[in-house]
Amino acid sequence: MRCWPLGFLIVLSCTTTTRVVRLSPAKYEPRPTDSPVQLYSAKLPNCPFEEIGLVNARKEYGVVSTNTVVDALRKKVRELGGDALVGVGFVHGGDLAGTVIRFKRDDCTQ
């Protein structure tokens, strides 16, 4: 029983929280879990797209890698039916944020 608090703290040290603000009332089916999600920081994709929402990911406790935060963002993009994340960057407090987009044509993914 003494190990229980320690185990709980270890689980908390790996927590990442994501938040979403929807920009479009349209709802889409989630993308498959293996669907690629491109990240764009300064450049926009060449394909026409629509904005779905804003996402933000934060490390809640302890030591969580930046890759874990990026993976949480990609997962949220897929859940929203998005294809990519544009304007990706760090914001106040070290959060990582961006705008979820969905390409208007299925054959266009860049």
Task: Note the CATH number of domain 3-103.
Answer: 3.30.110
Reported as a single tens digit per residue, the pLDDT across 47-72 is: 999 999 999 998 776 667 888 889 99
DSSP state of 26: -
Reported as a single tens digit per residue, the pLDDT across 17-50 is: 888 889 888 899 999 999 999 999 999 999 999 9
Q: Is the pLDDT of residue 4 over 70?
A: no
pLDDT for 8: 40
Query: Rounded mean pLDDT of 70-86?
Result: 95
Q: Is the pLDDT of residue 5 over 70?
A: no
Q: Which two tokens mark 53?
A: 């929402």
Helix (H) or strand (E) holding 77: helix 66-79
Q: Which residues pair with 34 in a beta bridge?
A: none
Amino acid letter, residue 92: H
**Average pLDDT of the chain?**
83
